[in-house]
A = this chain, B = another copy of it.
Amino acid sequence: MTDIAAPPQREPFTQRINWVDIGPFIALAVLILAGVIINPDFLSPTNIANVVTRSAFIAIIAVGATFVISSGGLDLSVGSMAAFVTGIMIMFMNAMVPSMGANAIIAGMALVLCVGALCGLFNGLIVTVGKIEPFIVTLGTMGIFRALITFMSDGGNIPIDRSLREPFRPVYYGNFVGIPIPIIVSIVVALIGAFILYKTKFGRRCAAVGANEDVARFSGISVGRIRTMAFVIQGICVAIAAICYVPRLGAATPTTGLLWELQVITAVVIGGTALRGGKGRIWGTIAGAVILEMIANLMVLSNFISEYLVAAVQGVIIIIAMLVQRFSKQP
């Protein structure tokens, strides 16, 4: 009974774990197959590049959401937070242009990261100090951020200064060794996220808090601090996404980031992270984000779906994607 050596033939466990991780990628593969059948152009380099690049926003934010959700929280405010911080960033840069010229972009980036972190901190503190359901808190702050951007833009929109458009453009449209910048950014974010979640004390504690709050407290983990930190990370991710977003649309409007929160959470869940908390799966999340964007892309590329029914088809595909995973999990 005392044979301690971890025998290599412990397949069931290794397998089970791998399967959960692979699930989303299988779904992704299936989707790509479908795509090729529907429209050969689907696999054209430009199209793939476009789709993946686009999914960057959601992917980056969803990495943050993976922290929040695995620590047992939920953040509905990310969409409007994105709009809000984008607005702040643009206004600030426009104000700085006269004095700093193109450097305003650097300053803007620095600022938006701080603002994002603060927004996250705000969410986190209300949740942990006020001891209120994250759902309600972030629903509230969702309204707050949305209103602030509407206010800042007087219900219209906040365009970025002409002189900044060009220098800023590459952040979205540029590429590095052929890979679009946003893709690189999101990969980097995911790498860092994965490192923090899987390889640091904080990450461990995050998962512990999400898995069983009592055990966490009895193990000397300050549950509140961990939860708050998760929200802060979420805020920073939102800010990073905003940085990639600005050059794409060149303006912040009251409708910026509308309903992103749903896409983000969907990406996380499709990625295999349970909404009730516990283990988070960064790479699955990334896959989830790409899946969502690909579905939207297929809707445009396919010609046999009535415009009115697009949303329905998307809904169906999302559910199917989950089923594919479910069953890929039973080997």
Q: Does A41 contact B (CB under 8 A)?
A: no
Contact in complex: A326, B139 (CB < 8 Å): no
Interface readout for A280-296 with B: 1 if CB under 8 Å, 0 if not?
00000000000000000
A29 to B311, CA, bound (A): 41
Is A269 a contact of B133 with CB atoms below 8 Å?
A: yes
Residue pairs across A and B with Cβ atoms less than 8 A apart, 6 shown, are: A130-B323, A131-B326, A132-B323, A135-B275, A140-B314, A140-B318
- Whole-angstrom CA separation of A319 from B122 in the bound complex: 12
- From 127 to 150 in chain A, residues with beta carbon under 8 angstroms from any chain B beta carbon are 130-133, 135-137, 139-144, 146-148, 150
Distance in Å: Cβ of A264 to nearest Cβ of chain B: 12
Give Cα distance in the complex from A310 to B148, angstroms: 10
Structural contact, A312 and B148, CB atoms closer than 8 A? yes
Interface centre among A126, A307, A322 (most CB of B within 10 A): A322
Counting from the closest, the 6 A-B pairs by CB-CB distance are: A143-B315, A147-B312, A140-B315, A147-B311, A151-B308, A143-B311
A319-B147 contact, Cβ under 8 Å, with A135-B275, A139-B266: no
A76-B298 Cα distance, complex, nearest whole Å: 24
Give A141's nearest chain B residue, CB to CB. Answer: B315
Cβ of B133 and Cβ of A308 under 8 Å apart? no
Residues of B within 8 A of A140 (CB): 314-316, 318-319
Report which of B126, B139, B312 forms a contact with A144, defined as CB distance below 8 A: B312
Residue of B nearest to A132 (CB): B322
Residue among A135, A136, A141 having the largest count of chain B Cβ atoms under 10 Å: A136
Number of A residues with CB within 8 Å of any CB on chain B: 46
Besides A136-B269, A276-B276, 8 other CB < 8 A contacts?
A: A130-B326, A135-B269, A136-B318, A141-B319, A147-B310, A150-B308, A150-B309, A155-B308
A131–B265 Cα gap in the complex (Å)? 18
| Assembly stoichiometry (copies) | 2
A130, B319: Cβ atoms under 8 Å?
yes
- In the docked arrangement, what's the CA distance between A130 and B126, Å? 36
Compute how far the CA of A274 lies from the CA of B310 in the bound complex, rounded to whole angstroms: 34
A59 at the interface (CB under 8 A from B): no
**A318 neighbours in B (Cβ, 8 Å):** 136, 139-140, 143
Interface, chain A (partner B; CB < 8 A): 76, 126, 130-133, 135-137, 139-144, 146-148, 150-151, 154-155, 262, 265-266, 269-270, 274-276, 306-316, 318-319, 322-323, 326
Chain B residues whose CB sits within 8 angstroms of the CB of A314 once the complex forms: 140, 143
Docked pose: A313 CA to B308 CA in angstroms: 35
B262 touches A319 (CB 8 A): no
CB-based contact B306/A132 at 8 Å: no
The distance from the CB of A273 to the nearest CB of chain B, in whole angstroms, is: 10
Q: What is the CB-to-nearest-CB distance from A120 to chain B, in angstroms, rounded to a whole number?
A: 16
CB contact between A146 and one of B133, B311, B326 (< 8 Å): that residue: B311
Q: How far does the Cβ of A146 sit from chain B's closest Cβ, in whole Å?
A: 5
Q: A322 is contacted by which of B133, B141, B147, B307 (Cβ under 8 Å)?
A: B133
Indicate if the CB atoms of A306 and B130 lie closer than 8 Å: no
Q: Is the CB of B276 within 8 A of A308?
A: no
